[in-house]
Chain A
């Protein structure tokens, strides 16, 4: 048991099963599906307001998704904490700017390249998630298991778009 808690990693089947079970509890306890990307949209209003002023809070999208702390934003904060706990327990916590990877490229092995790839990648990810209406968790797991048509199309699109781009870069 002790060994299990401090293990570097758990079987993906165990982790997948536990995420599935966590989804049941999320529905039962919070009446919500696991998802994360809407929180970034809410937060983005604050960033926009720094440049364009308070008027952005009146935009239609931010009227729908108000820039406030709610269930899902707390879930995202929880992910940071949970991952930190797991990483510390398994000795995997590591402050680093450049990711350790066997897939080396100018986009991830020097500072400028990584700032560029992470920032532009983030822009596409944020925009794409809003257009598609969800991300790998909201569509990819929670949406697909509810048999949502949009979610199954999204899951395929995420990995097709991702694989094409990855094969072009690496």
Chain B
């Protein structure tokens, strides 16, 4: 069990996160499905803005030794197949794991009962697969976790161009009226 203080930190962070997700409109089925059908770009706007702000701040803090990065690893087979299956589920359910919690908070019962039950069932099926095929699942992990490690360049050489590309894309999105 983690300490009480840590649990409270998690709860507090979650309350802010949930408030923002709801106020951003992304706890709404219509907005999420609208994004997948390329008719409503609220989700893309939020994610891309969060990426830019998060990236600039966290790498700035990490350069000064104030935070430790925790980039996730994966493998081609795991990441590609997993993300495509996730996407199919996202379209059917109309929520993802974070936004479903937000949808529950705003009163969506389809999220609370069949949706949540489905996510638990799917996670459990994975744990059962993992019990038998963990070696296969864990095979061929990426040698490098991040792009700066892969290309052996300073991270700012990726952060600055990436930030520029995202900002141009967002301006373009606004200009074509989406």
Residues of chain A within 8 A (CB-CB) of B96 are 125, 135-137, 158
In contact, A154 and B85 (Cβ under 8 angstroms):
no
B85 A137 Cβ-Cβ under 8 A: no
Cα–Cα, bound, A144→B118 (Å): 26
Distance between Cα atoms of A61 and B80 in the complex (Å): 20
Known contacts A19-B20, A131-B78, A132-B78; A125/B106 CB under 8 A: no
Quick one: which of A7, A43, A124 contacts B89, CB cutoff 8 A? A124
Interface size class of A (residues with CB under 8 A): 35 or more
Q: Are B61 and A28 in contact (CB-based, < 8 A)? A: yes
Q: Which residue of A lies closest to B148 (CB)?
A: A147
Chain A hits for B45, CB < 8 A: 12-13, 16
Given contacts A70-B7, A166-B91, contact A9 B24 (CB under 8 A): yes
Measured CA separation A98–B28 after assembly (Å)? 12
Q: Bound complex: CA of A98 vs CA of B118, how far in Å? A: 17
If A30-B9, A84-B106, A149-B144 touch, whether A125 touches B97 (CB-CB below 8 Å) is: yes
Distance between B150 CB and nearest chain A CB, rounded to angstroms: 6
Interface of B is mostly: helix
Contact of B125 among A69, A127, A135 (CB under 8 A): A127
Residues B106 and A94 in contact, CB atoms below 8 Å apart: yes
Q: How far is the CA of A88 from the CA of B14 in the complex (A)?
A: 17
Task: Across the interface, name the chain A residue whose C-beta is closest to B8.
Answer: A74
Interface pair A150/B74, CB less than 8 Å apart: yes
- How far, in whole Å, are A79 and B18 apart by their CA atoms in the complex? 4
Interface flag for A106 (CB, 8 Å): no
Closest to A101 in B: B30
Q: Which residues of A contact B24 (CB under 8 A)?
A: 9-10, 12, 15-16, 19
Q: Is B168 an interface residue (CB 8 A)?
A: no
A16 touching B50 by the CB < 8 A rule? yes
With a CB–CB cut-off of 8 A, which chain B residues contact A20? 49-55, 57
Interface centre among B11, B19, B25 (most CB of A within 10 A): B19
Least CB separation from A138: chain B residue: B72
Instruction: Please tell me if B13 contacts chain A, counting CB pairs below 8 Å.
Output: yes
The residues of B that contact A53 with a CB separation of less than 8 Å are: none
**Is A118's CB under 8 angstroms from B91's CB?**
no
B89 touches A125 (CB 8 A): yes
Cross-chain contact B90 with A47 (CB below 8 angstroms): no
Q: Could you give 27 example pairs across A and B, Cβ below 8 Å?
A: A20-B51, A37-B98, A71-B7, A77-B11, A79-B17, A81-B15, A82-B18, A83-B19, A83-B102, A83-B106, A90-B23, A93-B106, A122-B114, A122-B118, A123-B121, A124-B86, A132-B79, A135-B96, A136-B47, A141-B54, A145-B55, A149-B147, A157-B86, A159-B87, A161-B90, A165-B87, A166-B91
Question: Which 3 pairs from chain A and chain B are nearest by CB?
Answer: A122-B118, A78-B14, A161-B87
